[in-house]
Structure 1
């Protein structure tokens, strides 16, 4: 089986590889556009980005399945929350979709996003660290390391995989 991952982000690639840990699987990661804004601002936009990445990866990599993972934010009456969505694409079939954990962002971070900044660069300035989005992610910072970005996406990939296996029955 050939799985094409619609990102070269190490946190996303690790998530897919840790779930599909089989010697018979070839993993290829490709940079493909999400087709949505750099900072998705709703569940709908984040889902669309994940689906776009999954199908673009499948097409570019000519694999059996494509996986797209997308992080975004969702505005609620309780504040701005991190959200993350994934999609699994197969040729000629509708996408399999799953969402993951959510936590509220601190007001000082949310305010910067609401004023038009992107979470990745905001987190780098906030933490004074490089490549936060490729490592622990905002979720890792704001959960005090209890869950990393890769672990958050691993949960989503498990939800996708379970649905994929169920569909294959």
Structure 2
């Protein structure tokens, strides 16, 4: 059984990680532990580089906290080119996998507040009245009428970031 450290306490992210690992490594083959670690970047990362660095930093911090695990996984959400997206970073003792999620264009009214220094989650919570929306369906759930959620978009990126770990061609 693999011990997977999720460098997050966010239920939407944990659900995506669990689902992806169960699909790639078979259900029940992984034990997940959630840890709260720092990203080393602003609460609302701006740009692909800063967002990816936040995910990489979370993996480093999770490894330092739980060095005996088999995998460390981080998901960092950011804003780039007027859209929200995330980076997924997964490491084991031998290698790293990374993938960027799909992007969601954001309305100008939301972007204005983010550019003024607010994080997307609180802006969306104020806009929708949904408390802690970033731990639930997220902006993507609202703007796609529930067709997609944070977790569903994260799931796809986690599966992609896992590709180096189950494909022999990467080794």
Please report the TM-score for the alignment, with normalisation by the length of structure 2: 0.91
Residue 128 (structure 2) pairs with residue 112 (structure 1): no
Q: CA RMSD in A?
A: 1.4
Note if contact 2:39-2:54 (Cα within 8 Å) is conserved in structure 1.
yes
Bigger Cα displacement from structure 2, 128-137 vs 53-62: 53-62
Note if contact 1:28-1:61 (Cα within 8 Å) is conserved in structure 2.
no
Runs of 4+ in 1 over 4 A off after TM superposition: none
- Give 1:127's aligned residue: 128
Note if contact 2:97-2:163 (Cα within 8 Å) is conserved in structure 1.
no
Partner Cα distance (2:149, 2:58) in 1: 22
- Give 1:55's aligned residue: 60
Partner Cα distance (1:68, 1:155) in 2: 14
Q: Give how far 1:34 is off.
A: 0.8
Unpaired segments ≥5 residues, structure 1: none
Note if contact 1:71-1:83 (Cα within 8 Å) is conserved in structure 2.
yes
Secondary structure of residue in 2 paired with 1:20: helix
Residue 32 (structure 2) pairs with residue 30 (structure 1): no
- Give 2:84's aligned residue: 82
- Give 2:146's aligned residue: 145
Please report the TM-score for the alignment, with normalisation by the length of structure 1: 0.92
Unpaired segments ≥5 residues, structure 2: none
Q: Give how far 1:92 is off.
A: 5.6
Q: 1:43 pairs with 31, 41, 48, which one?
A: 48
Note if contact 1:3-1:67 (Cα within 8 Å) is conserved in structure 2.
yes
